[in-house]
Amino acid sequence: MTPTKLRLPKPPSPIRTSRADASGRPVIRAARTLPRLGATFAAVMAAAWLSTACLSDDPVLDPANAAAQAEVAAPGGGTERNGPGAATTTSITAPTVEPAAPPTTESTQPADEPSPGTLVAHVVGDDIVVYAGPASSRVVGSFINPNRHGTPLVFQSLAEPDSDLVDAGWLPVMLPMRPNGSVGWIRADEVELSRNPYRIEVDVDDFTLTVFRDDEVYFRTVVGIGEGDTPTPYGSFYLTDLLRPSDPGGIYGPYAYGLSGFSESLTSFNGGAGVIGIHGTNQPSALGTRVSHGCIRVANTAISEMATFLPLGTPVEIGDEPGRASAPGPEAATVG
């Protein structure tokens, strides 16, 4: 079997902290211009994805022209416009990782050193098949690469970075599909692995989003969450997309991360599947409240800062005490 490659993240820039009061006025230094950090995403279909996410009151991203907007972005990148009022999208760069040696089956990490983080599986082919178990013939799904938004396909692996599962030829992964929490198995030789030191916790009671790096608080900001009949779903998810809306001052702000999770109260939204996201807002005074259709809103300065260091595949835990919950382990990695 061809050895699975492991890549390690570049050192991040100095610690970032975002503090905001109940009115949502953040105290954060201006975000830097996105650095050139590795491969450019294929043209991202922000209009298509955002119109199926948690909001419906954008005059540009409405159900009537969502189908036309899905064809706005071309694989070559850049921006295009398709018909009256159509949104434009721009290809962007995202944090990436550097090549390194493969993991070993025995950990030599001292107990008092930081957590090794999680593994992100980057699909290398045009598609990948997911199975019900290691060496199983039962297919539970297949995914194209890049995904339908033009983003390189990644999975969060449920294997520990030093696990012998990496050398066994199969990897348990979380899946961006309904029901939330779905997991399956992929062939290890169809992906490249990166080690990710970041994870996100969203506390819906405290209205806070906290980013940890090696289990140390690295970034924190106030959030707006789902309201009433459309609450933000609890559970374990991961970042699947990073999109740039055409209007940075609009209701989605300058950037939007897509999650692997879906609304549990809306089976569809604006013709889409009701994907949950983390994005900016043009209503900062509503941060710290229950205001959305399920997505997680943050200040525009906060999402701009997050976009400079958070890679796809980063775990996201949402709950009232997210730190006490844990992602499903490899033993749970089957889809019924």
Mind telling me the catalytic residues?
A: 279, 295
Angle, CA 225 vertex, CA 219 and CA 226 arms, to 5°? 155
Residue 282 CA, chain-centre distance (Å), reads: 21
68 token code pair? 């036309």
DSSP class of 224:
B
276 Cβ contact list (under 8 Å, min separation 6): 53, 54, 232, 233, 237, 259, 261, 262, 263, 294, 295, 296
85-98: string of b/e by CB count within 10 Å (b at 16+)? Answer: ebbbbbbbbbbbbe
CB 132 within 8 A of CB 184: yes
What's the CA gap between 124 and 242, in Å, rounded?
19
Please tell me what DSSP assigns to residue 242. Answer: E
Cα separation, 177 vs 151, in Å, equals 16
- For tokens 């950990």, the residue is 107
293, HSE (Cβ side, Cα atoms, 13 Å):
22
**Cα gap 252→14, rounded to integer Å:** 27
What's 164's DSSP letter? Answer: T
Length of the chain: 336
Distance CA 220, CA 179 (A): 29
Dist. CA 41–CA 44, nearest whole Å: 7
State both tokens at 149. Answer: 């938004």
